[in-house]
């Protein structure tokens, strides 16, 4: 904290701009502590709050526009790439699809308040070909709310933050160690939960070549697509596949034979969503259910047709 205060005093708006830009580009360099300390700092001159707000918003818009254009250029595959560096890579894509499908462009107003969602949501906006003017309007509202709230919190809790800064200064290296331990504990808890989840993901999968052969030989009973309707519209689906809502699985499988071969696919790391649905289908009495290895991305990469 004291280091942040020194950096803000020395570099001013340039440091705030750079910190927000770097974080919004996806690097693990939190900008919110900087914004809060900037709002609380006694070094800020009267009227400088507006300048800090502008610097933070402009930096966020630049980074978000980069991800928007990346999504527009590379499509839905960029979501999977972004989610691989997330602390929750297996649920990242499914969470983004669910939120974006429910709230649409308005999800970008609160995207920055959800860890790991901001850059993925902006990339998705580009992937689904959202008009840029609409994207920039909602994204600017979200950036204003995100940066503005941090500055307001800094102003409101100025005294408390000053006390914390003084305490950490008094503790010296022990204060820094305390912050490092808290961060390490957070990352470790995320890693442990993911390790447990990956253990649950161990399930027999079918490859793209196997599925294509099964389709040619008419040995597939049903192919289920567990992605949102929005992502299916953007990238298409395997011919003959039927969409299933992960929250309404029983309704989605009405009429599907429980003793036939069922293939489930998604577009997320480790086929996480497909595995979850496959496990639930087995609990419902389906005898042969397998996720598609690599999901829709592997199918498209193999040069196979999709239907829209």
Q: Does residue 76 contact residue 234 with C-beta atoms inside 8 Å?
A: yes
Element (H or E) spanning 291, and its range?
strand 288-291
Q: For 65, how many CA atoms within 13 A lie in the half-sphere containing its CB? A: 12
d(CA 295, CA 268): 7
What is the SS3 assignment for 186?
A: helix
Q: By CB neighbour count within 10 A (0-12 exposed, 13-18 middle, 19+ buried), where does 100 fall?
A: buried
d(CA 110, CA 232): 24
Of residues 222, 286, 219, 288, the one with CA closest to residue 258 = 286
CATH architecture assigned to 208-301: 3-Layer(aba) Sandwich (3.40)
d(CA 100, CA 125): 9
The structure tokens listed for 100 are 């974006």
pTM: predicted TM-score of the whole model, two decimal places: 0.61
Q: By CB neighbour count within 10 A (0-12 exposed, 13-18 middle, 19+ buried), where does 157 fall?
A: middle
**One-character DSSP codes across 207-252:** -HHHHHHHHHTT--SEEEE-S-HHHHHHH-B-TT-EE--TT-HHHH
Q: For 294, how many CA atoms within 13 A lie in the half-sphere containing its CB? A: 12
Of residues 282, 280, 278, the one with CA closest to residue 290 = 278
| Buried b or exposed e, range 24-61, using 16+ CB within 10 angstroms | bebeeeebbebbbbbbbbeebeeeebeebbebbbbbbb
Assign residue 116 a region: left if phi > 0, alpha if psi is -120 to 50, beta otherwise?
left
The most distant pair of C-alpha atoms in the chain lies apart, rounded to whole Å, by 75
Per-residue pLDDT of the chain (308 residues; tens, 9 = 90+): 455 555 666 667 888 899 899 989 877 778 887 888 777 775 455 557 788 899 999 999 999 999 999 989 887 777 767 766 554 554 566 667 777 777 888 888 988 887 667 778 898 889 888 999 999 999 999 999 999 998 888 777 766 655 555 565 555 556 556 666 776 776 676 566 655 544 544 567 889 999 999 998 888 889 999 888 878 887 889 998 998 888 788 888 888 888 888 999 988 777 778 888 888 888 888 888 888 988 888 898 899 988 87
Of residues 279, 271, 221, the one with CA closest to residue 249 = 279
């Amino acid at each position: 904290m004291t280091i942040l205060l020194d950096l803000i005093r020395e570099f001013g708006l340039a440091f705030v701009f750079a910190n927000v830009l770097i974080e919004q580009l996806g690097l693990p360099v939190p900008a919110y502590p900087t914004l809060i300390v900037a709002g609380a700092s006694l070094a800020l001159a009267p009227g400088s709050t507006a300048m800090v707000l502008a610097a933070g918003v402009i930096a966020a818009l630049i980074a978000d526009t980069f991800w928007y254009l990346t999504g527009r250029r590379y499509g839905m595959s960029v979501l999977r790439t972004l989610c691989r560096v997330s602390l929750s890579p297996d649920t990242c894509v499914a969470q983004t699809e669910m939120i974006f499908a429910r709230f649409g462009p308005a999800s970008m107003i609160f995207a920055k308040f959800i860890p790991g969602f901001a850059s993925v949501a902006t990339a998705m906006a580009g992937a689904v070909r959202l008009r840029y003017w609409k994207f920039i309007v909602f994204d600017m509202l979200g950036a204003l709310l995100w940066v503005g709230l941090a500055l307001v919190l800094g102003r409101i809790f100025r005294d408390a933050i000053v006390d914390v800064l003084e305490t950490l200064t008094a503790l010296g290296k022990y204060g820094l160690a305390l912050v490092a331990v808290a961060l390490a504990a957070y990352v470790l808890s995320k890693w442990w939960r993911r390790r447990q989840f990956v253990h649950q993901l161990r399930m027999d999968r079918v490859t793209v070549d196997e599925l294509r052969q099964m389709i040619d030989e008419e040995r597939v009973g049903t192919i289920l697509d567990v992605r949102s309707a929005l992502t299916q519209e953007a990238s298409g689906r395997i011919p003959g596949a039927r969409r299933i809502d992960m929250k309404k699985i029983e309704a989605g499988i009405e009429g599907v034979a429980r003793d036939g071969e069922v293939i489930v696919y998604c577009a997320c790391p480790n086929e996480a969503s497909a595995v979850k649905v496959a496990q639930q289908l087995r609990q419902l009495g389906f005898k042969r259910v397998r996720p598609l290895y690599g999901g829709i991305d592997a199918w498209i990469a193999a040069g196979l047709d999709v239907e829209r």
